[in-house]
Amino acid sequence: MKATIAVLSGDGIGPEVTSQAIIVLQKIAAKYGHDFIFNEAPMGGIAIDQFGDPCPDSTIRACEAADAILLGAVGGPKWSDPTAPVRPEQGLLKVRKHFDLFANLRPVKAYPALAQHTPLRPELLEGVDLLFVRELTGGIYFGPRQEQGDGDTAYDTELYTVPEVERVAQVAFRAAQGRRKKLTSVDKANVMASMRLWRRTVVKVHEDYPDVELDHVLVDACTMYLVTRPASFDVLVASNMFGDILSDETSVLAGSLGMLPSASLGSATFGLYEPIHGSAPDIAGQGKANPIGTILSAALLLRYSLGLEAEAKTVEDAVDAALNSGARTADIVARGASFISTTEMTQAIVSNL
């Protein structure tokens, strides 16, 4: 297979972790006889500095010419003023909206080898293997908003339509069919009108997936259940904001935010793949960043955009093997213990491919 991948390394540790994912993808290409072409394009703060735009048109064109996007992270102290008219995060929202990437998949797996690095008792982590499906192009992040007058009043509107909820619910039900056939829909239907529409629509879509068990959980209760009985969940579907917050909460189940990948998908195979962590400017350039979230995101790219399931599984198994052999970056090592660098972790993974 020949495929083109647009690489948006971004800011902070973004270039460090994307470069390691590229190494893994190159090894996979060599192992399985593929030809992967990587095209770099600016995104985030670095693009603001160069072009005054967090996602210039040239970057959009590079993405349009690719089969998938591999993203690092955007933002940093230099561009952290939330009142600034141009901010790095706007570039990411632009890409999501431009390509209509409405479903964000965030798999969360508890690794027995990392159980000591979570705040939960080990028995609570047994069997934890869940998938968040977050609606990504609607809701309060994209609804009407305004800051009134001198800034004393402001509003952001939670806005959903039936078609928006239907399509992300269908993604979630299909995902559940391929797993343990259980879907949990997270909402706030007892208070919010938009969430009552959300629940009604998910119930309606469920009629087309009778083999999947559906239950509904209020978002505040879900925050508690995710740390008291996480293994009870299979697939969860949630709105843009709820899915953002809850999936970050589950990073403690994996041992570190640096462990979690994500895939942002539309109605076709094209997608954007990125770790869920930020740009971590406090450790940028120090070789401490954990590349696993980005490497696992590359595995999702192989699976969802390129249809290479065996190759994706090979990467995931190599990550498991590296962790089981004791390979640890700074974020997943016991306090005071020694750890390996970003590149050394990648080498440990590559040695198991």
| pLDDT single digits (tens) 96-133 | 999 999 999 999 999 988 988 888 998 999 999 999 99
Q: Name the β-bridge partners of 350.
A: none
Quick check: 150 pLDDT over 70?
A: no
Quick check: 78 pLDDT over 70?
A: yes
Among the options 141, 160, 273, 304, which is catalytic? Answer: 141
Q: Is 220 a catalytic residue?
A: yes
Contacts of 83 (CB under 8 A, 6+ apart): none
pLDDT band at 20 (very low <50, low <70, confident <90, very high): very high
Q: What is the pLDDT of residue 119?
A: 87
pLDDT band at 291 (very low <50, low <70, confident <90, very high): very high
Q: Please give the average per-residue pLDDT across 272-294, as a whole number.
A: 96
Q: Is 331 a catalytic residue?
A: no
- Give the span between the Cα atoms of 133 and 265, in whole angstroms: 10
Element (H, E) at 156: strand 153-156
Element (H, E) at 248: helix 240-249
Among the options 244, 288, 304, 331, which is catalytic? Answer: 244
Q: What is the pLDDT of residue 145?
A: 85
pLDDT digits (tens, 9 = 90+) for 171-214: 999 999 999 999 999 999 999 999 999 999 999 999 999 999 99
Q: What is the pLDDT of residue 81?
A: 87
CB 322 within 8 A of CB 304: no
Quick check: 147 pLDDT over 80?
A: no
CA distances from 116 to 112, 125, 255 (A): 8, 11, 8
pLDDT digits (tens, 9 = 90+) for 21-67: 999 999 999 999 999 999 999 999 999 999 999 999 999 999 999 99
Q: Please give the average per-residue pLDDT across 244-258, as a whole number.
A: 91
The residues spanned by each domain of the chain are: 1-102+257-353, 119-254
Q: What is the pLDDT of residue 344?
A: 98
Among the options 53, 156, 248, 320, which is catalytic? Answer: 248
Q: How many CB atoms lie within 10 A of CB 273?
A: 27
Average pLDDT, the chain: 95
Q: Which CATH class is domain 1-102+257-353?
A: alpha beta
Among the options 188, 225, 317, 320, which is catalytic? Answer: 188
Contacts of 297 (CB under 8 A, 6+ apart): 21, 70, 261, 262, 263, 273, 274, 275
CATH number of 119-254: 3.40.718.10
Among the options 35, 49, 215, 220, which is catalytic? Answer: 220
Contacts of 163 (CB under 8 A, 6+ apart): none
Q: What is the pLDDT of residue 214?
A: 98
Amino acid present at 294: T
Q: What is the pLDDT of residue 313?
A: 98
pLDDT band at 319 (very low <50, low <70, confident <90, very high): very high
Quick check: 149 pLDDT over 70?
A: no
- Give the span between the Cα atoms of 193 and 167, in whole angstroms: 19
- Give the span between the Cα atoms of 292 and 344, in whole angstroms: 12
- Give the span between the Cα atoms of 290 and 257, in whole angstroms: 9
Q: Is 244 a catalytic residue?
A: yes
- State both tokens at 224: 């508690």
Q: What is the pLDDT of residue 148?
A: 61
Threshold 0.85, pTM exceeds: yes
Quick check: 88 pLDDT over 90?
A: yes
Contacts of 76 (CB under 8 A, 6+ apart): 11, 12, 45, 88, 279, 281, 284
- Give the span between the Cα atoms of 184 and 214, in whole angstroms: 6
- Give the span between the Cα atoms of 17 and 23, in whole angstroms: 10
Q: Is 188 a catalytic residue?
A: yes
Q: Is 97 a catalytic residue?
A: no
CA angle 316, 319, 322 (to 5 degrees): 150
Q: Same topology for domains 1-102+257-353 and 119-254, yes or no?
A: yes
